[in-house]
Structure 1
Amino acid sequence: MSILETARQQVLEQGVGLNQEQLIEVFNLPEDQIPELMELAHQVRLKWCGEEIEVEGIISLKTGGCPEDCHFCSQSGLFESPVRSVWLDIAQLVEAAKQTAKSGATEFCIVAAVKGPDERLMKQLEDAVAAIHAEVDIEVAASIGTLTQEQVERLAKAGVHRYNHNLETARSYFPEVVTTHTWEERRDTLRMVAEAGMEVCSGGILGMGETIEQRAEFAVQLAELNPHEVPMNFLDPRPGTPFADRELMDSRDALRAIGAFRLAMPHTMLRFAGGRELTLGEKGAEQGLLGGINALIVGNYLTTLGRPMEEDLDMMGRLQLPIKVLNKVI
């Protein structure tokens, strides 16, 4: 039985994700089978997640000056990067949330370039969440690094409903990407987030030099977290970083990865994130949205440009993809 026939029975019919060995077969599918993979991934998404697409906007509360050495990231203060440290105030965050909500987005994520939050950042985030909820009908997520148990509890109490902390890559490849903290530290934060009742958002970046086997390993390790959401980024080499000279991921490999991640995590929200514009372009993005992706970030990312929000909304309209609407019970 071929791997796609196996996936049809195991994933589509039973809702059980593929294991690591099975995923390696998917990552090695010949090019002429990619359309069949995309179609199967789309069917899996429709059956186990529904047809709606969740739209999210993100904003950086603190940009640059990070003490970590993530080799892909221009926000590290350890590299000769053009990004410099900037802080936003509460009023700017509220205004950004309002603009995000106008796009139809149901999710607004506040991000800070830190290893973990100090008391100043915690207090500012708590105040920001309260101010946004008072003025904007939108869910607030956060991504502010490694957390302590006390900080996790404070964020949950403040009304942060989803927390993003990317594993970034497979456990076996992580030391090639980051040396100033461990993969296990990231996983521990995600465990506490889940135990506190917040939704877990964790993904990473593909195309950083990992092997196909490590991509399959990464997908399985993410699935073990039982995440609500997995952001899928593709490396956009940033000037001044150790990965500045890495080549862009081949678009065919990116499509294989989208299909494989959907078959590994049939019940999870897969979100198009950074690098999709360069790696896939307009046509590839449409293939992804009809091949397992059911969420995307609109507008710009943290230090790289995305597509204009209107273009993504037009694309979803052409594909007749319904946007998720936030329904709050007051």
Structure 2
Amino acid sequence: MTQAIVTTDILAVARAQVLDRGEGLSGEQTLAVLRLGDDRLAELLALAHEVRMRWCGPEVEVEGIISLKTGGCPEDCHFCSQSGLFASPVRAAWLDVPSLVEAAKQTAKTGATEFCIVAAVRGPDARLMAQVAAGVAAIRNEVDIQVACSLGMLTQEQVDQLAAMGVHRYNHNLETARSYFPNVVTTHTWDERWNTLRMVRDAGMEVCCGGILGMGETLEQRAEFATDLAALDPDEVPLNFLNPRPGTPFGDLEVLPASDALRAVAAFRLALPRTMLRFAGGREITLGDLGARQGILGGINAVIVGNYLTTLGRAAEQDLDLLSELSMPIKALNETI
């Protein structure tokens, strides 16, 4: 009798486990993917794209974001120029409700179904919650778009208030692996973020949670982070790549090599086969135009269009033209409800 050959090739394992059965990779398996050489990158991206198409479909969700309260944050997130603790150029500013509504209208014109209101705070105070309530109500009254929020850490009362306002998705990034988090933030803990996400999920809102790659974490910690996210089972994972900001503790770090970024995109897709995986901040400086195409053909199925909070993004038309060229339809609003 001929003994069956047992394959140990991680992409063959992933094809059977993830593509065929829809079971995400473990942390150890994700690490094996992250360790693949550049000679396997094209094969890896193709498999990640197959997984995305099988378990998520061809639609791409488009989102715009706006900063309601910018700068002056009391936290020390080492990547962020909005911290009031660093010698960085962003200073505190507030956006009024009419400006929020206009931004939502412009976002909707791109075909986006999601509009996220963001504030640079540890967590919202009464003034911010009142401003958000007024903004959400005005947007829902005038614009046919889903409203999401990202307002830092929440109390149970605040979670309930946001759910009652009609906020359907809440973004709160874990940023990095639990083991590396103290190297990124010291003014609050990873568990505090996790607790907010748990309350959001229990309140019936969708959970949006991702992070930033290229902050000095090891490949082991990158794989750990993918495993952390899989345990959370968020509806959406935004993948950011560090765009070093002058005046921040991470301002002198090197930009993540494009091949490493693409390998991570594919690895996260294989770890999270059914999750919306969104291209977010830093992709322009990390990947450029060619890399954007490779990422969308390597597991990505959602994008933020336009500018980010403190950095410039690609023009919305560029992303929309690319999606059209790739025959990837924009997810319709009724598919997000």
Asked whether 1:324 is paired with 2:331, we answer yes
Structure 2 distance, partners of 1:105, 1:38, is 26
Structure 2 residues not aligned, in runs of 5+: 1-6
Specify the code of the residue in structure 2 equivalent to 1:149: Q
Identity %: 71
Structure 2 distance, partners of 1:225, 1:150, is 22
Q: What is the aligned partner in structure 2 of residue 25 from structure 1?
A: 32
TM-score for the superposition, normalised by structure 1: 0.99
Asked whether 1:118 is paired with 2:125, we answer yes
Determine which of 157, 160, 168 is the counterpart of 2:164.
157
Q: Is the 8 A contact 2:69 2:120 kept in 1?
A: yes
Structure 1 distance, partners of 2:336, 2:320, is 26
Q: What is the aligned partner in structure 1 of residue 193 from structure 2?
A: 186
Equivalent residues in 2 for 1:63-142, closer than 5 Å = 63-142=70-149
Structure 1 distance, partners of 2:33, 2:265, is 10
Task: Describe the shift of the 1:284–1:153 C-alpha distance in structure 2 as closer, same or farther (beyond 3 A).
Answer: same
Determine which of 305, 314, 318 is the counterpart of 2:312.
305
Specify the code of the residue in structure 1 equivalent to 2:257: D
Structure 1 distance, partners of 2:155, 2:73, is 18
How far off its partner does 1:325 sit? 1.2
How far off its partner does 1:321 sit? 1.2
**Secondary structure of the equivalent of 1:245?**
coil
Structure 1 distance, partners of 2:132, 2:173, is 19
Structure 2 distance, partners of 1:223, 1:104, is 29
How far off its partner does 1:320 sit? 1.5
Asked whether 1:275 is paired with 2:277, we answer no
Structure 1 residues not aligned, in runs of 5+: none
Task: Describe the shift of the 1:87–1:329 C-alpha distance in structure 2 as closer, same or farther (beyond 3 A).
Answer: closer
Equivalent residues in 2 for 1:239-278, closer than 5 Å = 239-278=246-285
How far off its partner does 1:329 sit? 11
**Secondary structure of the equivalent of 2:148?**
strand
**Secondary structure of the equivalent of 1:327?**
helix
Q: What is the aligned partner in structure 2 of residue 223 from structure 1?
A: 230
Equivalent residues in 2 for 1:187-226, closer than 5 Å = 187-226=194-233
Aligned length: 330
Structure 2 distance, partners of 1:110, 1:58, is 6
**Secondary structure of the equivalent of 2:11?**
helix
**Secondary structure of the equivalent of 1:280?**
helix
How far off its partner does 1:328 sit? 8.0
How far off its partner does 1:218 sit? 0.2
Following superposition, which runs of at least 4 residues in structure 1 exceed 3 angstroms of deviation?
none
Deviation per CA, 1:64-84: give whole Å up to 9, x if none.
Answer: 000000000000000011101
Q: What is the aligned partner in structure 1 of residue 42 from structure 2?
A: 35
How far off its partner does 1:327 sit? 2.0
Task: Describe the shift of the 1:58–1:11 C-alpha distance in structure 2 as closer, same or farther (beyond 3 A).
Answer: same
How far off its partner does 1:127 sit? 1.2
Asked whether 1:4 is paired with 2:16, we answer no
Structure 1 distance, partners of 2:15, 2:133, is 45
Task: Describe the shift of the 1:327–1:286 C-alpha distance in structure 2 as closer, same or farther (beyond 3 A).
Answer: same
TM-score for the superposition, normalised by structure 2: 0.97
How far off its partner does 1:263 sit? 0.3
CA RMSD, aligned part only? 1.1
